[in-house]
Amino acid sequence: MNIASELLKWKGKAEITVKAPGRINLIGEHTDYNLGFVLPAAIDKYIYFAFRKNNSSEEVNLKSLDFCDEYTALLSNIQKSEKTWANYMLGILSQMLNENCLISGFDCVIGGDIPIGSGLSSSAALECGFAFGINKLFGLHYDKMGIAKLGQASENNFLGIKSGILDQFSSVFGKQGHAMKLDCRSMDYEYIPIALKTHSFALINTNVKHSHLTSGYNDRANTCFESVAILNEKIGNIRSLRDVSIEQLNKNKNYLSVIQYKRSNFIINENLRLHSFVKAMENNNVTDMGQLLFETHIGLSQDYEVSCEESDLIVNLSKLEEPVVGARMMGGGFGGCVLLLCRNEGKKDALDRICLKYKTQTEINPEVYHVNLVEGVSLV
């Protein structure tokens, strides 16, 4: 898609063109807003942006090619719109203006190939690519971490989503051929090469759409925060669930509701699984990697309760296929993509069989994505 040429058709010549990638998260789900660990990677599905300054002092014109829609805002009066796609960018503008950034009127065209609602973080790519472009267009002061934090602050403060920084960090800090092990408390991170010899990852999109705005995402976060407050009273020095051991959780189980215990149990175990997964990946132990993915899915489905029948079906179907060594739902939940770790030999036929059975049982057409790991947001 030539976004620059689309802008030429719409308002004039582009000054800056940007691309922002989506992401996969290998393991470490819902641990980011619990200040735990995540293991994401940027992938070669993008949202593209073309920017140009216009002659106004405060008029911002946005055009979405994917939604065939336009929106105009005034910098002096940034408010939520009925157009959800625009709100992710309006939130960035609101956050920048709150931080006293000097911005004047501009035009922006947006379009890309990240499937919306797939769990590949189209929203974070939208936020970070937009913030990156404005930062370049107006010579602002944000570094890479600043761009990622802008995206998270926009979701937290403008959209009211209690998300962590996983998605935005992934879109900004991606590195070709690598995953990123991120400590969401200290923000320390390290790049870990993915060099599997006989296996690779694939995605199957359930084509069941989700949105953090309506999916119960905030309910899960609130329950975790409630558990932290209770456990801190009983144990002390508990800032997040990463500070709690399984032994401590079980010892204080009676102080928590059933739901609080289940959510906490998942998060604590998920952090442990992530560290085990990294060790297995470094040793090219795909059997252990796959088993950990299956365990994560069970936890997401039964303890955290963010899966859905369609995601569960794909995971269960994958267990019948010998080339598939692991699978789990990925992303915030309630639909989207399932991540599979497959042996390269027989992979295509196995994925075809899973998709055929899925379509037969659900009457929904799934989609298979083969992705490469790429660099983060950048100028085109």
Catalytic residues: 167
- Show the tokens assigned to 239: 């800032």
CB of 45 closer than 8 Å to CB of 113: yes
DSSP letter, residue 115:
P
Count CB-CB contacts under 10 A for residue 277.
26
DSSP string, 7-51: HHHHTS--SEEEEEEEEEESS--S-TTTT-EE-EEEEEEEEEEEE
CB of 199 closer than 8 Å to CB of 343: yes
Count CB-CB contacts under 10 A for residue 284.
12
CA pair distance 118, 73, nearest whole angstrom: 28
- Show the tokens assigned to 316: 């269960």
Q: Which amino acid is at 201?
A: F
Measuring CA to CA, how many Å separate 59 from each of 53, 106, 134, 310?
A: 10, 7, 14, 43
CB of 270 closer than 8 Å to CB of 29: yes
Q: Across-strand partners of 18?
A: 49, 379
Comparing CA positions, the residue from 103, 119, 126 lying closest to residue 49 is 126
